[in-house]
Structure 1
């Protein structure tokens, strides 16, 4: 049922059908743009005109202003502050125009920015992607331009003829940290998930939130050092969240003049109490737009998942991702007015839906859609120019381990680590133990069983090992749990190999198939039904197999129903009845597929071609029956690899890093590389155990929330820092195995900064080490008055039986007159008595 809702077009300064650009009157500021060049430019709105910023001002914004950002690059390539202007003749170019609106900008300035964006788009023949960016809710692409962070300031305040000296800044953001100047010096701004900088005359105070990310901490150290040099401030003081009273009394007194400790109130991250973030799969909806007598009508077409065939080039469509953002797609044959006013009408849609005013709004044009738009669709097909054929998958004959390590991009594309010629030990899970399977039976799997494979191979330098577990589609949950436990047990016994892959039947990776040289066969049922010991060579003697694949690294056989209706013109099948084999080849199967199919038949087999087959073949299957005869084409665009920062503390959320590189993999983090067929979970050496433990839930949650209805059973591979296979490293533009050799942690950098302070009291640092309280520090912290509330009024993340864990160190010492470590050593009855005494029982 199509629902239609009319609303009046809202004029907030966006768009307009009669732009100057369409009439050839281009603003002088845009004259230097060459449409054939990669370029990155920023302008600020001043006195209703646009003024170009110099390169050294890029990434610096004022919250009272509006800006236009222009990014032109080769399609799929990065742009940003470090971009070099260069000719892209002969290459596909994508143009992005962003207008960024500060929180305190005026409607006049935002109106000019929006209007000039349309004018600039006209200069580019209306082929740009236009983004409305609001401070605090910038798109991933916008943030990717500023890899070294953004800085947002307030206009300088003059007091008594001098600029105000003491200022408070917040550092927030996992992928691109943003420094924001606060309106005043107050504890009201503080959250445990951020880092704050107080710039004062005699010292720079860096307050480190307990739950702040390593990126935020590192960014804060860089900025504080720059401030120290620029303003000739002698000292940088680090203060840990909840440990303010452990610093030197003199320094504490200095800090309290700006932020009185008796007024300290620091809450966990706002989002922690807001419950679930909307599920983008459920909220993704497609609307068709039309205009009639000045009324803009929006008719709902469908919910997700979406396909590119849902769009029509004659029309304009809105894709509603709720708070994730609003996309408006303009068909090639839409009118000029529709193209120019699309963004304004999308803003009207945001207001009609009562979404937050800072909701991202992006206009994309038919034929030049950016990758962020395409990945909203389950399948996307790019129309190629006439005469140009799609790139065929690479077929390779030599893929020994040395070749693949030397050519990681090839390894990543094919997902092959080597040719499978190494050594393998294979076990089947039987009840609560594992039974080794003899080499002659390798490759005979059963759908109700689980298996573990340990594969070893030799590279140019040393021997490497991989651990795979294979889970049959009909395996019991109990056996799956046992398999997972045994996998971890074997890994620990072997000193943690750094590569663990979970494969579910039907989703086998290329390298896993290569281990069995294109002979992997999956029978129905349990293996012990045919072989109790695992040592005999019994197999079913009557079955019909469907053969998938055309190479040793893509081929497998799967048992299907014993009926002619299971046949398919796109595949080959092997029928066995006792000692007799038939190889049946569909009309659309290739010669390579047929050759691989023969490998699943015994020496005595008969080759049957569809249409020339025999009645006796069908008689064995119970007679002829209709089966699938349409040709299947898989010529859709391959989805690009995507890197995500994992954050288990926020209900297993992930945050994407566009145009990722190896340096985005920080040892303190757990990262997720999504290659569409496989999820790699990268475990940094310094990442916390909790993030490691919850990584699988984070990965599954990522799949669940994807709007394209992802396969929840896809392969998940855990790899550890320093043990990355070429199938992982090949997805990164450049890989340097020595990158982390001289990696300096935040603690090390902090120590070095403190040693350079002129004040000896600061050099000694704080009188505590948070590492000893790691478990205590891991809990969300709340003020004492909140924790003393009745249990039914406590925040949802507070453990009502152990409220003391949610105190800061300073509050704990103040209440209990001892540290948590001392409290922890007391008998339980004594702990309970103390908790009653302080009102936290």
Structure 2
């Protein structure tokens, strides 16, 4: 059932017609639109409605609704927010997924809308003044958790709040301190740096000092001394005791409840759930322990859906469930993969490949010839190892290796070679994976030394590390997954590369952050995305990708006509890493201004057909034998169990 427009709050008029975010704050039991300049600023005393709209090139609009509840929100506003979320869903044709978001416990999906983070503000929102009355600047200590989306939480301004596992930001009136626990991950530290920059620009007008504090390093550094003086002087942070580690509880049993029209919960189903249990004129609650789903049939009334939401929230309160329990509302036909996974043999729905306009005709021709035609689903590559490890990267620099600082570890140059060590937790001990990365424009001496240096580091490493070689443009997916974000620039920084181009009279193309450059954005997710600097000519474009064109005075984002919404999300993320200062000019393929083509040396032809994935050859296992001075290689049949095979290639 969907509401008529006359039954919908006037604040929702036109909602969902444009791509992007729309936010409403509940003020005195009415909906107040939040201007874009205040998106991401949430007051702890308010409740908010957030609508995310995606407009695909073909097909209907896609919507997701979140209602956010601050820690100080009263019960009346909370109930009003859930009712208005349902009302908005009905106005949009009952085709949305709805999420309840609690301050400090937001879902990753919600946080991904706001870059780099949200930092809740104490007090109440005022639509008339746009800020909190009497709001004054004060010291605050924040924790930053998360590798890709950042959970920000204010903690008491005390030494006891610090630990070795997390990253902290101390925001003072004149300086921002970034404290990195020795056990925090590289990704968390990088994300925290983005948050520091965000606070600097928004809270200090870009005018304040920033100091980084390494856990355990405090001798002879004035910033470190100043940091600890704010806590009354330096004192060691205690290690976590074994008793403080929470033991993983057994997976809770999944229970399905039918919610009556009076709001009563009646357990239904058995240990084995089947989709046939769900009736289209009823609402159900699926209790999965840390997450609860409310499933609403297509033929249920709005009043019944409101009752099911209040009944579920009452259930959470009476059962004393954790405030971190996530609550998701699903309409029949819009079930998520996680929800469907709790049911046996849920029917699979096939999504059409929209860019293949004539696939039905081709399929019909093959069927006439007696062939059965089926479309293979597109699969994302799963990592073979735990990607939440620690990373070290060295650049080959003459006869030496230069260890790169953490912020520079995800920035490679095509004229250089690198040694990568990735340490991750194994079954009983830490495991090590080594790569020698060979840039396409690197010199032969650096290539040889990369292998030699990698072997030397391996010899000093305990255990049985795995070694591999990655050549630029031929990297395995696993290589990108351990970096998660990687930018490859043209040019090089090594002494030998600089000497080589000087002797040959070649112009140094090394990227310096200012000169004009063109980047191709690629990848499959925020855990696997890259920006590759390509030749500064129009022929480098491809309709299947998105690009970033930067000059000294402006920056363009170019969206290929065959690119997907996933590509557009990666484009936004990469733009913030390459140049977060300039306001981008977004252009779609076919609507480029002259200044865009002029920066590329003029308009020219480029590939406009859908780029297909390259065929990945099956792996091969070879047997090596040395007999009477002869070296023989034989291909061998094998069965993979738990081994990791490495195909070494000679590069000399």
TM-score relative to the length of structure 2: 0.53
Q: Give the Cα–Cα distance (whole angstroms) in 2 for the partners of residues 104 and 178 of structure 1.
A: 18
1:738 corresponds to which of 532, 548, 552: 532
2:98 corresponds to which of 120, 124, 130: 130
Q: Following superposition of structure 1 onto structure 2, how do residues 11-50 of structure 1 map, counting pairs within 5 Å?
A: 24-34=6-16, 37-50=18-31
Q: Give the Cα–Cα distance (whole angstroms) in 2 for the partners of residues 639 and 329 of structure 1.
A: 28
- The alpha carbon displacement at 1:276 in A equals 1.2
Q: Give the Cα–Cα distance (whole angstroms) in 1 for the partners of residues 524 and 333 of structure 2.
A: 27
Q: Following superposition of structure 1 onto structure 2, how do residues 485-504 of structure 1 map, counting pairs within 5 Å?
A: none
Aligned counterpart, 2:43: 62
Larger RCO, structure (CA 8 Å, separation 6 or more): 1
Aligned counterpart, 1:757: none
User: How many residues are treated as equivalent by the alignment?
Assistant: 417
Aligned counterpart, 1:564: none
Tell me if the contact between 1:201 and 1:233 (Cα under 8 Å) persists in the aligned partners: no
Q: Give the Cα–Cα distance (whole angstroms) in 1 for the partners of residues 359 and 319 of structure 2.
A: 44
Tell me if the contact between 1:685 and 1:721 (Cα under 8 Å) persists in the aligned partners: no
Tell me if the contact between 2:259 and 2:285 (Cα under 8 Å) persists in the aligned partners: no
Q: Give the Cα–Cα distance (whole angstroms) in 2 for the partners of residues 93 and 126 of structure 1.
A: 12
Structure 1: runs of 5 or more not aligned: 1-16, 78-87, 397-550, 552-589, 594-632, 651-665, 670-683, 698-717, 742-841
Q: Give the Cα–Cα distance (whole angstroms) in 2 for the partners of residues 307 and 695 of structure 1.
A: 41
Q: Following superposition of structure 1 onto structure 2, how do residues 673-752 of structure 1 map, counting pairs within 5 Å?
A: 686=420, 688-691=422-425, 723-725=474-476, 732=524, 738=532
Rg comparison, structure with higher value: 1
Q: Does 1:93 align with 2:66?
A: no
Q: Give the Cα–Cα distance (whole angstroms) in 1 for the partners of residues 357 and 315 of structure 2.
A: 39
Tell me if the contact between 1:96 and 1:128 (Cα under 8 Å) persists in the aligned partners: yes
Question: Does the C-alpha gap of structure 1 residues 233 and 148 become closer, same or farther in structure 2, counting only changes over 3 Å?
Answer: closer
Q: Give the Cα–Cα distance (whole angstroms) in 2 for the partners of residues 255 and 264 of structure 1.
A: 14
Q: Give the Cα–Cα distance (whole angstroms) in 2 for the partners of residues 222 and 269 of structure 1.
A: 31
Secondary structure of the equivalent of 1:146? coil
Aligned counterpart, 1:289: 258
Secondary structure of the equivalent of 1:303? coil
Question: Does the C-alpha gap of structure 1 residues 227 and 151 become closer, same or farther in structure 2, counting only changes over 3 Å?
Answer: closer
Question: Does the C-alpha gap of structure 1 residues 312 and 108 become closer, same or farther in structure 2, counting only changes over 3 Å?
Answer: closer
- The alpha carbon displacement at 1:98 in A equals 0.7
2:53 corresponds to which of 72, 95, 109: 72
- The alpha carbon displacement at 1:328 in A equals 1.2
Aligned counterpart, 2:298: 332
1:317 corresponds to which of 271, 284, 293: 284
Secondary structure of the equivalent of 1:120? helix
Structure 2: runs of 5 or more not aligned: 125-130, 391-406, 411-417, 432-467, 481-521, 536-652
Q: Does 1:641 align with 2:380?
A: yes
- The alpha carbon displacement at 1:359 in A equals 1.2
Q: Does 1:173 align with 2:141?
A: no
- The alpha carbon displacement at 1:72 in A equals 2.4
- After superposition, the C-alpha distances for 1:102-157 in whole angstroms (9 at most, x for unaligned) are 2232223323222221221231233322211112222232233235333233349x
Q: Does 1:193 align with 2:165?
A: yes
- After superposition, the C-alpha distances for 1:339-387 in whole angstroms (9 at most, x for unaligned) are 33332222233334432133111111112334554455564436689xx
Tell me if the contact between 1:177 and 1:215 (Cα under 8 Å) persists in the aligned partners: no
Q: Give the Cα–Cα distance (whole angstroms) in 2 for the partners of residues 728 and 686 of structure 1.
A: 10
Secondary structure of the equivalent of 1:40? strand
Aligned counterpart, 2:219: 246
Tell me if the contact between 1:168 and 1:185 (Cα under 8 Å) persists in the aligned partners: yes
Tell me if the contact between 1:185 and 1:258 (Cα under 8 Å) persists in the aligned partners: no
Question: Does the C-alpha gap of structure 1 residues 119 and 314 become closer, same or farther in structure 2, counting only changes over 3 Å?
Answer: closer
- After superposition, the C-alpha distances for 1:742-795 in whole angstroms (9 at most, x for unaligned) are xxxxxxxxxxxxxxxxxxxxxxxxxxxxxxxxxxxxxxxxxxxxxxxxxxxxxx
Secondary structure of the equivalent of 1:342? helix
1:117 corresponds to which of 85, 90, 110: 85
Q: Give the Cα–Cα distance (whole angstroms) in 1 for the partners of residues 471 and 332 of structure 2.
A: 41
Aligned counterpart, 1:354: 320
Aligned counterpart, 1:466: none
Q: Does 1:212 align with 2:4?
A: no
Question: Does the C-alpha gap of structure 1 residues 685 and 391 become closer, same or farther in structure 2, counting only changes over 3 Å?
Answer: farther
Secondary structure of the equivalent of 1:153? coil
Question: Does the C-alpha gap of structure 1 residues 356 and 267 become closer, same or farther in structure 2, counting only changes over 3 Å?
Answer: farther
Question: Does the C-alpha gap of structure 1 residues 162 and 62 become closer, same or farther in structure 2, counting only changes over 3 Å?
Answer: closer
Tell me if the contact between 2:54 and 2:62 (Cα under 8 Å) persists in the aligned partners: yes
Tell me if the contact between 1:187 and 1:264 (Cα under 8 Å) persists in the aligned partners: no
Q: Give the Cα–Cα distance (whole angstroms) in 2 for the partners of residues 277 and 392 of structure 1.
A: 52
Q: Following superposition of structure 1 onto structure 2, how do residues 636-675 of structure 1 map, counting pairs within 5 Å?
A: 641=380, 646=386
Aligned counterpart, 2:228: 256
Aligned counterpart, 2:195: 223
Secondary structure of the equivalent of 1:690? strand
Tell me if the contact between 1:191 and 1:269 (Cα under 8 Å) persists in the aligned partners: no
- The alpha carbon displacement at 1:211 in A equals 2.1
Secondary structure of the equivalent of 2:270? strand
- The alpha carbon displacement at 1:203 in A equals 2.6
Tell me if the contact between 1:326 and 1:362 (Cα under 8 Å) persists in the aligned partners: yes
RMSD: 5.0
